[in-house]
Chains A and B, each alone.
Chain A
Amino acid sequence: MRSLITSVLLGLCCLFGSAHAALDPAVLQGFASEDFGERLAVIGQLGQIGDEDARRVLEALENDSLAIGGGKVLIYDGEKAIDAASGVALEAVPEDIDTLTVNNRMRTAIEAAKAGMALFSTDPTVRLTAATRLRDGVDATTLPLLEKALASEQDAAVHEVLTLAVSRGNLGSGEAAKRLSAAIALADSGDPSVLALLEPRLDASVEPDAAVRAAVADAIRSIERRLAVAGAIGTVFTGLSLGSILLLAALGLAITYGVMGVINMAHGELLMVGAYATYVIQGLFQKYLPGMVDGYLLAAIPVSFLVAALVGVLMERTVIRFLYGRPLESLLATWGLSLVLIQTARTLFGPQNVQVDNPSWMSGGIALLGDTVLPWNRVVIIGFAAFVLVLIWLMMQKTRLGMFVRAVTQNRSMAGCVGVPTARVDTLAFAIGAGVAGLGGCALSQIANVGPAMGQGYIVDAFMVVVVGGVGQLAGAVWAAMGLGLIAKFLEGWTGAVVAKIVVLVFIIVFIQKRPQGLFALKGRFVES
């Protein structure tokens, strides 16, 4: 009787167990091995099994939560342990629990295994990333899988990627017809790694069939053409991106130096103030609005403007207004101010760089063709530079304040005679220049370091842009920034970064010698102060 009960219970256990434990514990035992080869084999097996349990184990492994304890493979989240094979929670966490370390090789294997499973997902975007992932490393094991997926694929985009992937695999096929269709299909690829696959096939000893060789040659030509176009677009984009950063760094200076004639050596520190304002806003969002943390940057834009403008007003009221028309003294005084600002930041935030994260919508990029990627943060910054430029242009051309600023620039005493409050206009114009620098700092925080001395790196570039563009001209600053950005990037691709920097500086020296007034000079009568 007892034995009957036991066997029924056992049977129930088995039934119950098999509903949960689709995984054989013996498969997982390989993880306990010290040998990476065995662990890799387990990952491969899990990929073959491909069910929910296998996926759960792989994900745990990827997130550093797969552990070995008490002779079992466990999923351990720091508090409770779950038996990885059965999915049943353990009552007590074993004493000797130790998390499995994942290295790059295992991570690659995990990604491949997960991609293999995701190929048959119901979500087309999941299938697309999986197919893209597998495309780059087609081998004998993945090829049948990809062919199976291709046969049942409905989505056009995924179908295209799978076709390319299968074609890659078929290039080495024994049948000439398969190789021919593979070579023809690969002509649509924009991936430089396909070139490396195709090139050896031009050799008659590797590829006996003349028709296939011709198709391969055609494919190589079309891929190379596409890559050349993508490369050119990429270079122009990087140039524009560098130009937009130069422009953001220089726009504030174009107002304070260009329009008002103040040599503001503390301009870089106003950028720094804007960047730190962004950092503080990010911290506040993380603390009080964790759900909306991706939106911190939008809130940081007005804040960085206001904070930097406030610092600008303080600088103007306390120091600079006593020094109008005395460039040498204002140069020295503002340099002193810059040191004060750097030390203040160092005291408040510490000497180390602080961490400003890209919001998730600014991470990653648009994959153009092959290996040309336009990163989102740079695309956004180009747009932002254009936005700030339009804002300043409207302010200078369409508002009463802008008109006053232009009037004071052209003839200070005459403007004062007709009732323009020149002192207040000076303060406001300086505040706006400083605020725009703050906006620049907010943008720079997304691509560069945020630290107390970050402004020092931009001050020379900013002056370079304003001087080349022509003092007193916003349009000049735009042309100069974009021109310098593009020249620097085209040269860098050709000579390397070090030589490119030297050549750009030499070019500027020669340019200023020949045309001291810059690209655009203001025409008309001026009262030199």
Chain B
Amino acid sequence: MSDLLLEVTDAEFRYAKGAPPAAHHITLAVRAGDSLGIVGESGSGKTTIGRGLVGSLHPSAGAVLVQGRPWKSIRRRDPVRRVVQMVFQDPYASLNPMLSAVGTVAEVVRVWDGLAARPAVARAEEILAEVGLTGEVITRRPAGLSGGQRQRVGIARALACGPQVLVADEPTSALDVSVQANVLNLLLDLRESRGLALVLISHDLSVVDYLTERAMVMYRGEVVESGPTGSLLSDPQHPYTRELIDSIPGRSALPPAA
């Protein structure tokens, strides 16, 4: 079987029929263990692509395939649904305020692995420990957790159904600077320990540089440049990419070769 997990072919995404496309001519592929950064300013269409990758927005043209199958053909309890999961930008809004951390994760285990309540809780505790949450803190509801802890619960929930691709939409932008590094390092560790493919959506090039090997730059709904993250940063070809690099404090792109 091919190790191609996600494939987007010349896709176009619109939020309503007749509305202008939020992203178009999008082509990308994610293989097992890949790490891809999607970078761009607000409104550039990067979150739209993220929604398309996890199947919450269907393309109006082109195709988004998960293990060779279009999202539309994947039913609610189809095992292929486990392949791609999402980590959200706002860790508070992404958690059910009425469920504890362990309850949130145990629910996924119960639904997908069919475990009874007690074994599901035990499994949830293991997954939460994997993201660094143990002890009394896992019995708290989101209101009793810090931003970083909430994001860890969000990551644990995504991990609970055993995904192969994690789509992280600005996973650190709502967090304190001091907590951002912890969450980024956690994602890095999980990539290595679980062999996860990671699609990181961010407006911050330095975060994309830290976590991904390949990156694509979005501008007004289009991919303007893509390639290995290192060469994209050291030798940007598109003026917008250069602008993005210049916006990183203490770093600026070299002027284009004459």
- Report whether chain A binds chain B: no
Residues on B close to A: CB < 8 A? none
